Amino acid sequence: MPLAYDMPLFRPPSEANSLIIQATIGCSHNRCQFCAMYKMKRFRIRSFEEIEVDINDAARVWPDATRIFLADGDALIIKTAVLIKILKLLHFKFPLLERVTLYANPGNLLIKSEDELRELRENGLKILYYGVESGDDALLKRVAKGATPGQMIEGCRKATNAGLELSVTVLLGLGGKSGSRGHILKTAELCSKIGPRYIGALTLMLGPFEETFGKNVGEGWQPIDKKQSLQELRLLVENLNVRNCIFRSNHASNYLPIGGTLTQDREQMLELIDRAMADPGYLRPEFLRGL
Ligand code: SF4
């Protein structure tokens, strides 16, 4: 320690206080048009021996860690037998460990059987962070997400049946100006069918890649502005038909951080969005987005 991470290293906002063990490098899919997180990395699964060295090093300096996040982009790609070995070692080395979490992509969940997912849950895997991005099938194809809404429902259903919690993210702005409404309504519909424990909204931030993204996803794609981003957030909250689901827009890419449990906090969240629409003073300044 400190562990020699292969940078850059990403983790969900809710894993800010977790120990991070890098089990894979990069993302096995790595083709989503809107995502530059791992473009500079060649994907590989680290060997169990490499991971074991990191776990042993970390256990020497942080033996009382209670939360561990397995990076990078989709550690669920690791063969189930090896993941179970990793989970067992983590629980042995960190006796106070309460939960292990990781990013999963749609392809990972399609490959694993419900029984395999159940075995992972029984060995301490608790939450899968899963990028839905959109419920619009045509848009998912254009951005090369690599899965249809139907495949996402199938994979997520297996995970839920296996007792795993899902924390899904959706991407405001992905449909651009003209596709905005369809993107959000279909996304709300898909998330409602999945019924995850958590939903996080992020706002698309392309920076210098905006032009290339526009060209790749099709002529006519135009980014939404701040006002439309709030309208999308409102439309999403209005149309999510989920129960006991914690909704958040606290990611740094968003103009307005809100949070609550759906459906009981829906009206309060809508009121806050309406207030922010009337008074831009509520909004995160542009220069602070993404920080
Ligand atoms: S699957 Fe996730 S990490 Fe991989 S390229 Fe797509 S958005 Fe990025």
DSSP output for 46-104? PPHHHHHHHHHHHHHH-TT--EEEEESTTGGGS-HHHHHHHHHHHHHH-TT--EEEEEE
State the distance from the centre of ligand 1 to the C-alpha of 26, rounded, in angstroms.
9
Place of tokens 């099709």: 218
DSSP state of 175: T
- 99-104 and 125-133 beta bridge pairing: parallel
Q: Do the Cβ atoms of 172 and 234 come closer than 8 Å?
A: no
Atom of ligand 1 nearest to the CA of 106: 1
Q: How confident is the model at residue 291 (pLDDT cuts 50, 70, 90)?
A: low
How many other CB atoms are there within 10 angstroms of residue 2's CB atom?
7
Tell me which of 10, 28, 35 to substitute to probe ligand 1's pocket, judged by most ligand atoms within 8 Å of the beta carbon.
35
Q: How far is the CA of 8 from the centre of ligand 1 (A)?
A: 14
Q: Which of 105, 151, 171 to mutate to test the pocket of ligand 1 (most atoms within 8 A of CB)?
A: 105
Residue nearest (by alpha carbon) to ligand 1 atom 6: 32
pLDDT at 249: 95
pLDDT for the residue 215: 86
The mean predicted confidence, pLDDT, of the chain is: 95
pLDDT band at 140 (very low <50, low <70, confident <90, very high): very high
Report how far ligand 1's centroid is from the alpha carbon of 226 (Å). 24
Give the pLDDT band of residue 1 (cuts 50, 70, 90). low
2 pLDDT higher than 80: no
End-to-end CA distance of the chain: 26
Over residues 128-132, the mean pLDDT reads 98
Query: Going by CA atoms, what residue is nearest to atom 3 of ligand 1?
Result: 73
The 10 Å Cβ neighbour count of residue 163 is 13
pTM: 0.95
Weakest-pLDDT range from 55-64, 156-165, 207-216 = 207-216
> How much is the pLDDT for 161?
98
Lining ligand 1 with CB less than 6 A are 27, 29-30, 32, 35, 37-38, 73, 105, 131
Mean pLDDT of 8-27: 96
CA-CA distance, 151 to 67, in Å (whole number)?
30
Nearest atom, ligand 1, residue 133 CA: 7
**Per residue in 229-258, pLDDT tens?**
999 999 999 999 999 999 999 898 999 999
Mean pLDDT of 155-169: 98
CA atoms of 137 and 129, how far apart (whole Å): 21
Residue-range domains of the chain with CATH: 13-286 (3.80.30.20)
